[in-house]
């Protein structure tokens, strides 16, 4: 890998803090990410945050096609010039939080594999976008802030367990594959990162028509995670019917438990009984 610092200097570029730009400079980590994504010759890959295109080039060597989405107009211009003669790479200058995935991949065979070195500030909203667009993507291989990755895989009762844990685990099987030190980036961030590989569950915990209500119940309950479940629900702003307590007791959930101890299955049961009670 050429010197990212020299290349930035050559193009007159400075990493933009507001865009969370930290360029991966460790080739070993880059290669591990590509291996973790398990990209094959027939795959179409969405790359988010391609930076100066080092991973884009590695992915292009393995995939049938790579579509790299870059929000920074300066970097997008550099990338388009770099890959001008690489027919299986398309650089799209856009905000990945706003881009129409369906339109972006309308000419491609679905599903698509997503590979991303995510700016920390967009990781959670982008995860929810991927869930909403799950018919388009087969796997997600994401580098995120380590604390976000730990929240994603956290189990009930752990301090990291929260709405993100419940939502992600309701739809995806996932694991933290490896951690990445700050020194692997230029400029180094103040936190460590982790690479997570995610696969869709064969049967998600909730059906599409139940998702919004399920999210409201989970957020409402875990918004008061240290209260008892009954008090958390009373403070949640959810529309609670007069007999909701008896309905919950009938499904065997103790109202004196803390919401942070409920499993995903119990949250599903809770959402159903609150909707019906």
Whether the CB-CB separation of 33 and 143 falls below 8 Å is answered with yes
Q: Structure pTM?
A: 0.90
Q: Please, is 3 exposed, middle or buried when counting C-beta atoms within 10 Å of its C-beta (0-12, 13-18, 19+)?
A: exposed
User: What is the distance between the alpha carbons of residues 211 and 219, in angstroms, rounded to a whole number?
Assistant: 12
What CA–CA distance (Å, rounded) separates 217 from 82?
A: 48
- What are the residue ranges spanned by the domains of the chain? 4-200, 208-276
Q: Could you count the other beta carbons within 10 Å of the beta carbon of residue 226?
A: 9
Identify the pLDDT of residue 277: 64
Q: Per residue in 169-192, pLDDT tens? A: 999 999 999 999 999 998 899 999
Residues of the chain short of pLDDT 70, as ranges, are 1-2, 277
- Fold: same for 4-200 and 208-276: no
Nearest Cα to 1, choosing from 42, 39, 40, 53? 53
DSSP 57-118: HHHHHHSSEEEEEE--HHHHHHHHHHTTT-TTEEEEES-TTTS-HHHHTTTSPSPEEEEEE-
Q: How remote is the C-alpha of 129 from its chain's centroid?
A: 8
Topology of domain 208-276 in CATH is Helicase, Ruva Protein; domain 3 (1.10.8)
Give the containing element (helix H, strand E) for 194: strand 193-200
**Sign of the CA dihedral 241, 245, 248, 254?**
positive
**What single-letter DSSP state applies at residue 50?**
-
Query: Exposed, middle or buried, 28 (CB in 10 Å: 0-12/13-18/19+)?
Result: exposed
What confidence score (pLDDT) does residue 192 get?
96
CATH annotation of 4-200: 3.40.50.150
Strand partners, 176: 196
């Amino acid at each position: 890998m050429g010197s990212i610092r020299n290349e930035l200097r050559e193009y007159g570029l400075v990493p933009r803090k507001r865009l969370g730009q930290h360029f991966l400079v460790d080739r070993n980590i880059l290669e591990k990410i590509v291996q973790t994504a398990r990209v094959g010759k027939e795959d179409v890959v969405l790359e988010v945050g391609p930076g100066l295109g080092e991973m884009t080039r590695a992915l292009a060597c393995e995939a049938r096609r790579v579509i790299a989405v870059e929000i920074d107009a300066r970097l997008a211009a550099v990338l388009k010039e770099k890959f001008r003669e690489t027919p299986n790479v398309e650089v799209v200058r856009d905000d990945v939080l706003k881009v129409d995935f369906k339109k972006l991949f309308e000419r491609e065979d679905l599903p698509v594999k997503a590979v991303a070195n995510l700016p920390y500030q967009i990781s959670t909203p982008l995860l929810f976008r991927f869930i909403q667009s799950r018919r388009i993507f087969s796997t997600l291989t994401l580098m995120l802030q380590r604390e976000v990755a730990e929240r994603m895989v956290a189990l009930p009762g752990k301090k990291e367990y929260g709405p993100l844990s419940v939502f992600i685990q309701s739809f995806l099987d996932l694991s933290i594959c490896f951690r990445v030190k700050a020194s692997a980036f230029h400029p180094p961030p103040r936190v460590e990162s982790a690479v997570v590989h995610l696969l869709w569950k064969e049967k998600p915990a909730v059906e599409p028509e139940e998702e919004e209500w399920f999210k409201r119940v989970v957020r409402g309950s875990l918004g008061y995670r240290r209260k008892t479940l009954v008090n958390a629900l009373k403070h949640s702003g959810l529309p609670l019917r007069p007999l909701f307590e008896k309905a919950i007791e009938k499904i065997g959930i103790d109202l004196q438990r803390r919401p942070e101890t409920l499993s995903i299955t119990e949250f599903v049961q809770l959402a159903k009984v609150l909707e019906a009670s």
